């Protein structure tokens, strides 16, 4: 009789509270990005992780650390800086429309480095750092250690080098740190901007590389995109989501629109538990990249 009553009680509990059980154990989210991390800025743990501790190339997401070092250096954002010819070759294609010798205010240089991922702008910020270019790279790595970014290493301020590496979990820490500075939020989410140079005097228009910044409904507060063939398409951002600040880190996606699609899947998953689906091409790409990462990690371990 006791066993019968116990069985009835168990059946009753699971019949009445099935939704609560689902919420505590949401279905596994499907993303096109090979590596990812999702967290609330006021939380202690990741809400979701996919290869979140793996150190990978991060391309121009690097510029978020560049911005943090510049802002925390205390250098005036109103100072005019000249664009000097590079003292070392760029690690990858570094096409720019900016003329060597022209000048622009540090704040505007920082803005176009963040919103439009201008590589010459990021380089220029580094060479005008009090310790010079080398001192700037040291400051980037020092700040990474300070933030507890244990899998992170920087060798250049632009992200053109594949040796700039970090894990998705590390980049959550970086986004939260950057969000403490209103200038980074403002500059990284500027939709369009016209930079007005002097010596010589000319103007150049710039646009934000993250399409989601242009949508008010997304409430994006921090944004940075990145791309290298070795790093894939990358996106990190913070946004207002249901009354909280949500950090999204997406690294190594196949297509230009894939990170934006993943960002949408994350929001639906958090709201409804819908796991979403990804294209077969993205799944194939992820399998190939995971195999390559595994081979690379095994090679490093063997050495």
pLDDT in tens, 140-164: 999 999 999 999 999 999 999 999 9
Whether 235 and 225 have beta carbons less than 8 Å apart is answered as yes
d(CA 136, CA 122): 11
CATH number, residue 200: 3.40.710.10
- Helical packing angle, 106-115 and 62-73, nearest 10°: 160
Q: Which pLDDT score, from 0 to 100, does residue 17 have?
A: 32
pLDDT in tens, 235-270: 999 999 999 999 999 999 999 999 999 999 999 999
Quote the number of domains for the chain.
1
Q: Per the domain annotation, does 61 fall within a domain? A: yes
Question: Would residue 43 count as lying in a domain?
Answer: yes
Give the dihedral sign, CA 217/115/52/253. Answer: positive
d(CA 60, CA 121): 12
Catalytic residue among 63, 143, 224, 289, which?
63
Q: Has residue 22 been placed in a domain?
A: no
Residue 203 bears catalytic tag: no
Residue 143 is assigned to a structural domain of this protein? yes
Indicate which residue of 33, 117, 167, 223 is catalytic. 117
Considering the domain boundaries, does residue 82 fall inside one?
Answer: yes
User: Per-residue pLDDT tens for 163-210?
Assistant: 999 999 999 999 999 999 999 999 999 999 999 999 999 999 999 999
Confidence of residue 122 (pLDDT cuts 50, 70, 90): very high
**Catalytic option among 33, 50, 60, 161:** 60
Q: Is residue 8 part of a domain?
A: no
Looking at residues 96-100, what average pLDDT do you find? Answer: 97
pLDDT at position 4 over 50: no
Q: Provide the percentage of residues in the chain whose pLDDT is more than 70.
A: 89
Residue 302: band (very low, low, confident or very high) from pLDDT cuts 50, 70, 90: low
The answer to whether residue 117 is catalytic is yes
Domain of residue 184, residue span: 28-302
Instruction: Decide if 168 is inside a domain.
Output: yes
Catalytic residue check, 63: yes
CA–CA dist 130, 118 (Å, integer): 21
């Amino acid at each position: 009789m006791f066993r019968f009553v116990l069985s009835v009680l168990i059946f009753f509990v699971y019949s009445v509270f099935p939704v609560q059980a689902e919420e505590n154990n949401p279905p596994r989210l499907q993303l096109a990005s090979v590596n990812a991390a999702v967290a609330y800025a006021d939380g202690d743990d990741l809400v979701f992780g996919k290869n979140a501790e793996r150190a990978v190339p991060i391309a121009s997401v690097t510029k978020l650390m560049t911005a943090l070092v510049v802002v925390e250096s205390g250098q005036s954002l109103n100072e005019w800086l000249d664009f000097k010819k590079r003292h070392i070759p760029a690690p990858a294609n570094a096409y720019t429309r900016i003329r060597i010798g022209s000048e622009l205010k540090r704040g505007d240089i920082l803005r176009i480095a963040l919103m439009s991922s201008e590589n010459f702008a990021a380089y220029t910020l580094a060479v005008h750092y009090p310790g010079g270019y080398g001192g700037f790279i040291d400051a980037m790595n020092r700040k990474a250690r300070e933030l507890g970014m244990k899998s992170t290493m920087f060798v250049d301020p632009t992200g053109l080098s594949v040796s700039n590496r970090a894990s998705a979990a590390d980049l959550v820490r970086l986004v939260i740190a950057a969000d403490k500075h209103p200038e980074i939020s403002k500059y990284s989410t500027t939709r369009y901007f016209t930079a007005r140079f002097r010596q010589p005097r000319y103007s150049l228009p710039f646009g934000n590389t993250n399409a989601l910044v242009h949508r008010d409904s997304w409430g994006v507060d921090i944004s940075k995109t990145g791309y290298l063939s070795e790093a894939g398409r990358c996106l990190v951002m913070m946004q207002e989501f249901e009354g909280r600040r949500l950090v999204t880190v997406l690294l190594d996606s196949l297509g230009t629109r894939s990170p934006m699609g993943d960002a949408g899947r994350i929001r639906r998953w958090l709201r409804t538990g819908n796991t979403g689906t990804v294209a077969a091409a993205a799944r194939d790409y992820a399998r190939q990249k995971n195999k390559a990462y595994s081979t690379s990690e095994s090679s490093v371990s063997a050495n």
